[in-house]
Amino acid sequence: MENTLSPLKTLAGIMRPALQNHLRSIIQAGSDFQTGQLPEMLSYQLGWTGEGAGSRAQGKQIRPLLVLLTMKAGGGRWQAALPAASAVELLHNFSLIHDDIQDNSPTRRGRPSVWKRWGKAQAINTGDAMFALANRSLLDLSKSLNPRITLQACHVFQRTTLQLTQGQHLDLAFENENQITLDQYWEMISGKTAALLGTAMELGALCAQVSRTRKEAFREFGLQLGLAFQVQDDILGIWGETEIIGKSNTSDLVTGKKTLPIIYGLAQGQSFSRRWKEGPIHPGQASDIARLLEDEGARAFAQKEADRLTKSALDALLRAKPEGKAGEALKELAKKLLKRKG
Amino acid sequence: MENTLSPLKTLAGIMRPALQNHLRSIIQAGSDFQTGQLPEMLSYQLGWTGEGAGSRAQGKQIRPLLVLLTMKAGGGRWQAALPAASAVELLHNFSLIHDDIQDNSPTRRGRPSVWKRWGKAQAINTGDAMFALANRSLLDLSKSLNPRITLQACHVFQRTTLQLTQGQHLDLAFENENQITLDQYWEMISGKTAALLGTAMELGALCAQVSRTRKEAFREFGLQLGLAFQVQDDILGIWGETEIIGKSNTSDLVTGKKTLPIIYGLAQGQSFSRRWKEGPIHPGQASDIARLLEDEGARAFAQKEADRLTKSALDALLRAKPEGKAGEALKELAKKLLKRKG
């Protein structure tokens, strides 16, 4: 039966609209402001208003979906985890608003980023408001769950935010450094990419009140998934075909971003490293230098790491014993995220 | 006995070192980072490290002191409110880091602001980390108080942060507007200045578990104190003597900041308003134009408002029935803050 929807599609089709409604209620409750444009700026970042509003501008919402699926796969009623799912999505968007300012990125999800529309000062402030709304959303867990669990969730959430800021700090600092170790790279992406995915899983598991062992396994799955995803992204950033990944076609070789293959290549101290130190790489040179980097083993190295992390993620998910349709959906989502080819 | 310390000096002398210790423990616990300079950036903002470190760079810490004094004046053990006091101080510092970026202010408490030392991208991130640490500190209330009170404190805290961002949003928006109503002005300073002082009082009262009526009165005191303080600051910003207030000697007339006397003057549509619209006021013209503004009644109007708010603050404090030495100290602090003359 070609038309039967997969567990992921079925559940996402039910969960996504509920999430959007919940997010709207958070933004509206936070907008007891009498004047000004702050609510509009928040809505814009969430893809609800302005030119280009709609599903692309709303983003893929993988993280809140992970929270809800984990709650259900842990035996809980997923609706009770909506405050945590919204919190994770708002935290993610807060970090995107600030990232775009820090990286000077004029676009986000196919349209002008918040700072490009309202200026950097207002955009910093909009991010701050989004972060406060994320925290407020999380507190609503206490409407369905007991106060101790809510407080635990708050602890997890603040630890995660600190890890995000540490990852971002390192990422920014790396721009001005030439020698970055693999340890530093792993620490950076652990904070910047993996922490929030681990937390999405952990919050879902915490809300479902699964055993400590299962909760740790769910979290581990999220962390390894995040690392694997980032390494894949790094590979695609150099050897990906732009039509498939749908990103801007500027190779990381051109932007000078210090991704895993590049850090590996620099550590070899061979031709690639010498070329890198000579100065910026122009778009026309990117494919030749990508080949050079591949010849020095960087692509194979990164692919091996991605495979190792992918296996490690799927192993952790098995250990977590996700239940029922939501468990199937989690496996499906993991495979979908990790199987993409550039 | 000339040498007897006042209740405020006695208590502040005990509370301030305890607060500093608690703040240090929060920053250290948040710094489970293996590499990078983020902990140093946080310490710098708090005045502990870097050139010029010391009491001036640490700021006056009025807000955390209000939390601790209120806890004690409400019959509680002030030490149990240290997590809330630190949270308030960290929230205040988070907002200062971002304010300085938004206003392009190169100095803070007599030395380079965080963005001036580490660049705007890193400074945005440092502010974000400081905010996460503020939230984390607040959660530690649950070590001494019951989880429901801790959750209530978290709710109050997020509401306050939203009010701060709304105030900041309006303040930034006013730069580009010529017609600002008095209502808009009050909304702006309610968020930007009064909210956090109200919250400092509310958190102290909440921790002390005083009655709802007293808690409201404590909060009201903080709000009115904040408004009165801001209006006084506005008056000093035009007619203050720089040696007394210790601020940079650039009049608000020169920077073009839309403070209460200026908004009042603009609404009169007389000579001051016409002059304002002609273009920037140079330092050499400030005293003449200050006199013009005074002749049109702006100073008297603002002073009347400041007096009304001061009375209202002191009335609220009486209704809150603050107890013992800490109660005396609160009254002393209020009078000290409100009696300063330019």
Q: State the DSSP string of A12-29.
A: HHHHHHHHHHHHHHHHHH
Residue B33's domain comprises: 7-339
* Helices assigned H by DSSP within chain A: 7-30, 38-45, 55-58, 62-73, 82-102, 114-118, 120-139, 147-174, 182-189, 195-208, 212-239, 242-245, 252-255, 260-268, 271-278, 286-295, 298-319, 324-339
Per-residue pLDDT tens digits for A131-173: 999 999 999 999 999 999 999 999 999 999 999 999 999 999 9
Nearest by CB to B121, which of A33, A36, A102? A102
Higher pLDDT, B77 or A35: B77
Contact indicator for A222, A201 with CB cutoff of 8 Å: yes
Average pLDDT over residues B204-214: 98
Average pLDDT over residues A213-242: 94
Q: At A10, is the pLDDT very low, low, confident or very high (cuts 50, 70, 90)?
A: very high
pTM: 0.94
Q: Is the pLDDT of residue B340 over 80?
A: no
Residue A2 lies in a domain: no
Preferred mutation among A113, A162, A199 to probe B, highest tally of B CBs within 10 A: A162
Q: How many CB atoms lie within 10 A of CB A106?
A: 12
**Among A25-39, B160-174, B252-266, the least confident range:** A25-39
Nearest by CB to A122, which of B147, B155, B172? B172
Q: Is the pLDDT of residue A339 over 90?
A: no
**pLDDT, mean over chain B:** 93
Q: How many CB atoms lie within 10 A of CB A286?
A: 17
Contact indicator for B130, B87 with CB cutoff of 8 Å: no
Name the one residue in this structure whose structure tokens are 């102290």: B204
Residue B2 lies in a domain: no
Contact between B35 and A187 using a beta-carbon 8 Å cutoff: yes
**pLDDT, mean over chain A:** 93
**In the numeric block, which tokens belong to residue B193?**
């200045």
What residue in A sits closest to B184 (Cα-Cα)? A35
Rounded to the nearest 10°, the torsion over CA B213, B215, B219, B220 is 20
Q: Is the pLDDT of residue B221 over 80?
A: yes
Contact between A170 and B35 using a beta-carbon 8 Å cutoff: yes
**3-state SS class at A142:** helix
Contact between A129 and B35 using a beta-carbon 8 Å cutoff: no
- Exposed/middle/buried for residue B309 (C-beta within 10 Å: 0-12, 13-18, 19+): buried
Contact indicator for B162, A132 with CB cutoff of 8 Å: yes
Q: At B82, is the pLDDT very low, low, confident or very high (cuts 50, 70, 90)?
A: very high
Contacts 24+ apart (CB under 8 A), A141-149: A141/A80, A141/A81, A141/A83, A141/A84, A141/A207, A142/B151, A143/A83, A144/A79, A144/A80, A145/A80, A145/A207, A147/B147, A147/B148, A147/B150, A147/B151, A148/B147, A149/A206, A149/A207, A149/A209
What is the structure's pLDDT at B247?
A: 47
What is the structure's pLDDT at B338?
A: 85
Contacts of A187 in chain B (CB under 8 A): 34-35
* CA of B117 vs chain A CAs: smallest distance (Å): 14
Q: Is the pLDDT of residue A240 over 90?
A: no
How far is residue B212's CA from residue B192's CA, in Å, rounded to a whole number?
25
Contact indicator for A220, A194 with CB cutoff of 8 Å: no
Cβ partners under 8 Å of residue B119, min gap 6 = none
Residue B68 lies in a domain: yes
Nearest by CB to A158, which of B103, B135, B151? B135
What is the structure's pLDDT at B194?
A: 97
* % of chain B beyond a pLDDT of 70: 94
Residue A48 lies in a domain: yes
DSSP, res A193:
I
Contact between A166 and B129 using a beta-carbon 8 Å cutoff: yes
Nearest by CB to A169, which of B36, B159, B184? B36
Name the one residue in this structure whose structure tokens are 């920037």: B280
**In the numeric block, which tokens belong to residue A124?**
């910093």
Cβ partners under 8 Å of residue A112, min gap 6 = A106
Give the H or E element holding residue B317.
Answer: helix B298-319
Contact between B35 and A155 using a beta-carbon 8 Å cutoff: no
Average pLDDT over residues A10-33: 90
CA distances from B176 to A116, B172, B264, B277 (A): 17, 8, 17, 13
Contact between B170 and A35 using a beta-carbon 8 Å cutoff: yes
Residue A137 lies in a domain: yes
Q: At B276, is the pLDDT very low, low, confident or very high (cuts 50, 70, 90)?
A: very high
Chain A and chain B share a number of CB contacts under 8 A equal to 153
Q: How many CA atoms lie within 13 A of A130 on its CB side?
A: 28
What is the structure's pLDDT at A316?
A: 98
Residue A125 lies in a domain: yes
Please state the domain count of chain B: 1
What is the structure's pLDDT at B169?
A: 96
Contact indicator for A110, A56 with CB cutoff of 8 Å: yes
Nearest by CB to A169, which of B122, B147, B155? B122
What is the structure's pLDDT at B14?
A: 97
Residue A1 lies in a domain: no
Closest CA to B219 of B278, B159, B272: B159
Can you give the CATH number for the domain in which A158 is found?
1.10.600.10
Contacts of A148 in chain B (CB under 8 A): 147
- Say what the ipTM of the complex is: 0.94
* % of chain A beyond a pLDDT of 70: 94
Preferred mutation among B101, B162, B175, B180 to probe A, highest tally of A CBs within 10 A: B162
What is the structure's pLDDT at A176?
A: 85
Per-residue pLDDT tens digits for B9-68: 999 999 999 999 999 999 988 766 667 899 999 999 999 999 999 999 999 999 999 999
Name the one residue in this structure whose structure tokens are 């070590």: B143
What is the structure's pLDDT at B244?
A: 46
Contact indicator for B266, B273 with CB cutoff of 8 Å: yes
Q: Is the pLDDT of residue A48 over 80?
A: yes
Q: At A250, is the pLDDT very low, low, confident or very high (cuts 50, 70, 90)?
A: confident
Residue B53 lies in a domain: yes
